Amino acid sequence: MSSLTARCPGSARQPVLAPALLPALFLLLFLAARPHAQSVNPAKPAARPRFSADKPAETLAWEIVSQMSDEDALAQTFMLGWVGAEPSPLIMDWIRDRRIGGVKIFGWNTEDTRKLAETVGVLQNAALEGDFGIPLLVATDQEGGWIRHVKGATSETPGNMAIGASGYPRDAYLAGYYIGRELAVLGINMNFAPTVDLYTNSASTLIGPRSFGSDPVQAGILGAAFVRGHEKAGVIATAKHYPGHGDTDLDSHGVLPEITAPFEMLWERELVPYRMLARENIPAIMSGHLAFPNTQAASTPASLSPWFLRTVLRDQIGFKGLVITDDLMMNGATLSAGSLSRAAKQAFIAGNDIIMVSKTPNLSDPIWTSLALAMREEAGFRERVRDAARRVLETKLRYLRGGNAVPYVPDLQKVDTELPDSEGSGFFLGLAARSVTVVRGDLPLSPEKAGKVLLAGQFDDFFSAGKKAYPDAASYYYSASRGSWELNYYAREADTVIFCVSDAAGMNLLRSLEGSGKRVYAFSVLSPAYIEEATWTEGAIAVYSYAPESFVAGFSALLGRIPAPGRLPFSAGSGPAPQKAR
């Protein structure tokens, strides 16, 4: 028998392989079937798009979001605060482990300006280590005037109502520019300003001098000019508090204010600045925790209302930019929704793109876990959050790249040498002078006419400027705990009392001087609404902040050394007053 053949019973002769040859043949078959080494080209995973790629913002935003997991996308919509001057371990965990999209700087983070700049650099470096290299939105509230969260070496400024009193759009532009330029030195690339709430309720203690005034068109013009100044400085401006916080004396930090105006009135009044700013392509708007029961939103806060944010803001007004919640830890939001996590979900559904929380939650807090679960289980919610993340990225790509962008890591030498802004200091003094307003009375009040002067106030800078104007004046530092008898005791030797009023308590004390036989001048800071009823005083002037420049300008006008060209940006005693910007 051949070694290569064998006979099977009942069949023809068939060739078979000897068992000893089988391993060799299997090896030949394996080698024949194996691709040649030089032709091997295994598929490589697609490279993740990088934030720094040279592509249009809209295109690159879509590419990045398409490569993101649901949790990556959700993280981009979070903006969190933290406690302390240095980055807390927890905020670093949120940046490194979750890759959140933004942080919010509050006043408790900012006393040491250099330390703040170092902190911003640490936060940004941690963010840039992520797979996509996406920087943080670093935001704060630096409105000017009364609200100045970044303190330390930054400028104190006359504020929005001073701009409204001067009436010049260029003042609004330069205020936005110089405030923005200081923020940029610190690496802060987003500002929750301008405030375009109207001063329609003179009893409002939350808005007051933060407003440009009561005229909606002027507020829109000045707000748009402020935004252009920020744009020149490379900072993202954010108008607030949509749809308008000015017509209430309640504070949404503690309660949910109700504003009874019908929608028709809101459209022609509070919403006018937003309608104007949307046409000017403002990049962001903050939604307010405010209820408007005589509108379709009923008792739902505007910040959680699809009707206010999607139907009115997006569809009717045509706003294309980011919508950011006011702090969700404010009772105006959480009391309505029942919990922080419910408020956050409602905020997304309503149309917000960023949820802002002032304190750092735990990584496993329901505000994260419940939203992540909803993205897995609810297709519509998942799409809404991913669309919000795309809008966040597109805004970042438009503003955080290029030659005009705020640097991610601040230059500490510039922090030491460029704050406060030297050009800005001269401008803000000029703005303070242009905004001084004579409310009533015959000026000037010369030292000879004044005789013996008593300066009564609460601010060191008031006394400093006042003593330079009236060198022989006596000083009385009052507080709410001191009785009117003490003021009258100090006033008994004076011919003239110059009394600084900044709030209702000060106004109550000022009343005790009526009928005293003394010549009394009211020196109003912040809102001048408090001195409207003090018609018995010999004179009254208004400045609009307690910045040193405002006191210097006020006393200069009182002495007659400079004119007082400012006008009240609202009508005394009667709410809103139409006034054209000039």
pLDDT value of position 578: 33
Low-confidence ranges of the chain (pLDDT < 70): 1-46, 249-254, 331-335, 572-582
Nearest-angstrom CA–CA distance, 467 and 451? 14
Q: What 3-state class would DSSP assign to 1?
A: coil
333 and 81 in contact (C-beta within 8 Å)?
Answer: no
Number of separate helices (H) and strands (E) present in the chain: 22, 18
State the catalytic residues. 253, 326
pLDDT value of position 28: 40
382 and 351 in contact (C-beta within 8 Å)?
Answer: no
In our burial notation (b when 16+ CB lie closer than 10 A, e otherwise), range 4-37 reads eeeeeeeeeeeeeeeeeeeeeeeeeeeeeeeeee
Instruction: Give the largest CA-CA distance in the chain.
Output: 144
pLDDT value of position 331: 67
State the first-to-last Cα distance of the chain, in angstroms, to the nearest integer: 118
pLDDT value of position 248: 79
510 and 535 in contact (C-beta within 8 Å)?
Answer: no
- What are the structural domains, with CATH classification, of the chain? 71-424 (3.20.20.300), 436-559 (3.40.50.1700)
Element (H, E) at 457: strand 453-457
CA trace torsion 453, 458, 459, 463 (10° rounding): 10
pLDDT value of position 252: 60
User: Considering the entire predicted model, what is its pTM?
Assistant: 0.89
pLDDT value of position 452: 98
Q: What are the phi and psi torsion angles at 78 (to 5°)?
A: -95, 135
Structure tokens at 119: 């902190």
550 and 543 in contact (C-beta within 8 Å)?
Answer: yes
pLDDT value of position 532: 87
pLDDT value of position 56: 97
pLDDT value of position 422: 96
- The residue type of 32 is A
437 and 161 in contact (C-beta within 8 Å)?
Answer: no
